[in-house]
Amino acid sequence: MPHSPNNLSLDAVPRFRLSVFLWATSFLLIAATSSTATELTVGRAVKVGVNPETLNQAASFIEEAVAEEKIPGAVILVARKGKIILHQAYGHRNLQRTRPMETDSLFRMASNSKAITAAGIMLLAEDGKLDLDKSVGTYLKAFQNERWNEITLRHLLTHTSGIRIEPLFLTPLVQKSATYPQAPDLRLEVNRFAARSPLEPAGKTFSYNNACYNTLAAVIEEVTGSYKQHLRERIYQPLGMLDSCNHESDADHKRMSTVFRLQRDGTWSAGWKPGDAPDWPFPRGSGGMVSSARDYALFCQMLLNEGRYGNKQILQSDSVTEMTNPQSKHCEAAINYGLGWTVSERGSTFSHRGSDGTYVWVDPNRDLIGMLLTQCNGTTPPRSEFRQLVESACIPPSPSVDKIDGK
């Protein structure tokens, strides 16, 4: 066979094919590695740079708080670098103390629901179905009036709308009738907010407002047909959050805890109990989520992974950045709030708490997730002390050789 630049010898052909195969294989391995994000698994504290003794002190602190009846029961979870290194349950979940708290117990997450609602909004923004900076009336016709013309979805997300509606919904709720056959209904109740005028200009003041997050849930429902189904299909199912839902009626009451209320004499009384009717007859965006510690940790790990979990892209990285950083560049009053999360500095810890006793924080710099879940209303669980102990357990990285040499 004559030799030319365009011809390969018979010996060269196998070598060429082998080199192509090796290159393709290495490329696929690199691609697979880069496209697979951290998944939560159980690990050892020392392997992820956490002092086991100090971490045990954090756990003992909560155990003692339960023993001293400062809180009736709790589940704690700490994960670092994708490893769950602490997951314990203490105390009981009913007034009679016959049902122990378990690590897979379910909690009413209260305002920790807001981060989930915000994620639901961001997914629709990614789909091109919502624009955060368009007025609420763009999506809910009842709000197409001069009172709400300047209020955007972003204002609702950041609690800077200027609206000062105190209750979650206006009561009494609209009753079912020939005029309102769909009652009770989320969108029907939210539409009643449209008659209220803001007390402050949009974006200029911060005032934590549950009604605004319920309005966001109504927007999701208007666009998708179902707020809770949207969250289930786009967040819970892809992440494997099989314990999570957005209404007490959909939860496994056998695993839920009574919501305790602290009395003046220091004793506990029962508020909402498993088997009771839901607080509201429909899902809401300000609260209402039911979840377990591990389930909610899956959501937090996805955020640490910039929107990815395993081989699934749940949220775009830009959406996560918006959610977990202050929004003051858009709404000047949102200096300590992102979208569904409390956060004071760009790239720093974001957190949230719920009125029924839940508390979650996520520290991107430490690659850390922490939570203290209780069900006690009317008292503050020892969350700050627990968080401080957990953070102090994280061993700082050793200084590099360059730093030691002063280079």
Query: Using one digit for the tens of pLDDT, what is the confidence trace for 295-326?
Result: 999 999 999 999 999 999 999 999 999 999 99
**pLDDT (0 to 100) of residue 106:** 98
**pLDDT (0 to 100) of residue 397:** 63
- Beta strand segments in 201-266, E: 260-262
Return all residues near 59 (Cβ < 8 A) that are at least 6 apart. Answer: 76, 86, 88
**pLDDT (0 to 100) of residue 21:** 45
Handedness of CA 59, 239, 210, 252 (dihedral sign): negative
> Of 130, 154, 109, nearest to 338 (Cα)?
154
Return all residues near 297 (Cβ < 8 A) that are at least 6 apart. Answer: 40, 77, 79, 84, 369, 371
**pLDDT (0 to 100) of residue 398:** 55
**pLDDT (0 to 100) of residue 266:** 87
Positions in the chain whose pLDDT score sits under 50: 1-14, 16-33, 400-407
Return all residues near 35 (Cβ < 8 A) that are at least 6 apart. Answer: 308, 311
Residue 276 Cα distances to 6, 61, 249, angstroms: 80, 32, 9
Whether the CB-CB separation of 198 and 215 falls below 8 Å is answered with: no
The pTM score is: 0.89
**pLDDT (0 to 100) of residue 36:** 85
The total of other beta-carbon atoms located within 10 Å of residue 243's CB is 21
